[in-house]
Amino acid sequence: MTATMSKSPGAGMYPPVAKLNLAADPRKMRRIIAEDPEWSLTVVPLLSNLCLQHIVRNFEEKPILEELLPRHKDYVLERLSPSLPLQVTANLISDDGYWKRCCKQRWGLCDVSSYGHSWKRMFFERHLENIIELYIPDATDPKTVLGMVPLCRNYVKRLDISQLMPPIKEPQKSEDDDNSDSASDMGMDGPSMDHFDFGILLDKLSHLEEFHVVYRVKGCGMNFEWNLFEFTFRDCESLAKALKSCKTLRVLRIHQSKVDDEKCRQLVNNLLDHPSLRELNLSHNLIGDRGARAIGKLLNRSKLERLTVYDNNIRGLGAQAIAYALAKNSSLLSLNLRLNRLGDEGGQAIAQALLKNRTLKWLHLGGNEMTEPTATVLSQVLVQNNTLRSINLSCNRLGMDGGKVLEEGMCHNSSMVECDIRLTEVGQESDYCISQVVRNNRNQAHRKHNTDENLA
């Protein structure tokens, strides 16, 4: 390779320029080497990011969160695995975004609106429910439940238990088959408990307000046995004591569990004078008149606001006991007795109580074999009672005459905004007149509500 020097005006001002001789030997020409394919323009990570990544990787062994700056804390929370042990995360992480990822990973579609829009509450309530629903007496270690208490007691406000597993059935001799049920109830040979014992848990959940439970097994399929749906007296006794110890409980629902009169009385005896209970639901059970008398006693010794006992076996005498308590009660706002067997004896008793009661707003007596005599007393209620807002009399044979007396009473009423008389065999004219009065009352109530809002 040779070069020639050239001069130009002002050559003294610039360094000499070398020109390549392209005709030179190609083997001696300068070659361009391809760049390294692994070389990157990525900026070297910040030391702070490297430290945060280290915290994320080692969070289970050494959790560091509260000591971080807010932006660094957000960085760590976004990258933490939702599979970390609850012993590490439960009382340390309050960020709802992290618990949302935990819920989504475990259950997929989730509706957080029924959990006070708190993902953390949703996670721990559903997690604890799952542990209880899969608990098998004398087979599952109680520590699996008790170990969760320190982690979840500050976040669980409601438990909705949709199934309870019975003990594992031991092989029995044929001569013992006839005595198996009695042995279970009397606490003789057999498992220590027939289902999960809530006595070890409820008093430890210091924020529990709602408790729903069904004594059954879901999806048993071909393994169906009646004992899978048995709420024994021993279960009832332990549950009643547990409910009594839970002083924060406001809503109790025990449905589809074959609660009969004896079990109802046992439950009620432990709920008398409960400091916070406001709603009781014992629907789809086997409660008769003796159980209804116990419920009437509870009305006088509690602050219940909602009582729901539909689809039971309550007849006239039981309704009379509830009516006697209702006449003196000053806290109950809603009473649902539909799908019982009150008849006119019970229907008239409830109606007579409403002539004295001044707090009840919602009453459901649908499907109770009531006829015209009950409608006659209810007509008096419509005239004298200005508190009742809604009444449901559907699926009762009130008849044409019953419809006329209700129509007459409704013409003097200005507070009723709902009146369901479907399938009651009242005449079309009575049905129309009653619906018109209800519509006018509803419009008047709506206008009054708007006026009050404007004044406020």
Closest by Cα among 319, 387, 328, 327 to 359: 387
C-alpha 410/C-alpha 442 separation (Å) is 13
Mean pLDDT of 30-39: 63
Three-class secondary structure of residue 213 per DSSP: strand
Percent above pLDDT 70 for the chain: 86
Burial of 52 per CB tally in 10 Å (0-12, 13-18, 19+)? buried
Residue by residue, what is the 3-state secondary structure of 11-60?
Answer: HHHCCCCCCCCCCCCHHHCCCCCCCCCCCCCCCCCCHHHHHHHHHHHCCC
Q: Which structure tokens are listed for 111? A: 């509706």
The confidence band for 11, taking pLDDT boundaries of 50, 70 and 90, is very low
C-alpha 338/C-alpha 348 separation (Å) is 15
160-204: per-residue pLDDT in tens?
999 999 988 766 555 545 554 544 444 445 666 789 999 999 999
Confirm if 340 and 314 have CB atoms less than 8 A apart: yes
| Cα dihedral across residues 262, 267, 270, 275: positive or negative | negative
The reported pLDDT for the residue numbered 13 is 47
The reported pLDDT for the residue numbered 455 is 78
Confirm if 313 and 340 have CB atoms less than 8 A apart: yes
Return mean pLDDT, the chain. 89
- Whether pLDDT at 20 is above 70: no
- Whether pLDDT at 9 is above 70: no
The confidence band for 31, taking pLDDT boundaries of 50, 70 and 90, is low
Report DSSP state, residue 69: -
The reported pLDDT for the residue numbered 183 is 45
Closest by Cα among 376, 333, 323 to 354: 323
- Whether pLDDT at 382 is above 90: yes
Confirm if 148 and 128 have CB atoms less than 8 A apart: yes
Burial of 287 per CB tally in 10 Å (0-12, 13-18, 19+)? buried
The reported pLDDT for the residue numbered 32 is 56
Longest dimension (CA), the chain: 129
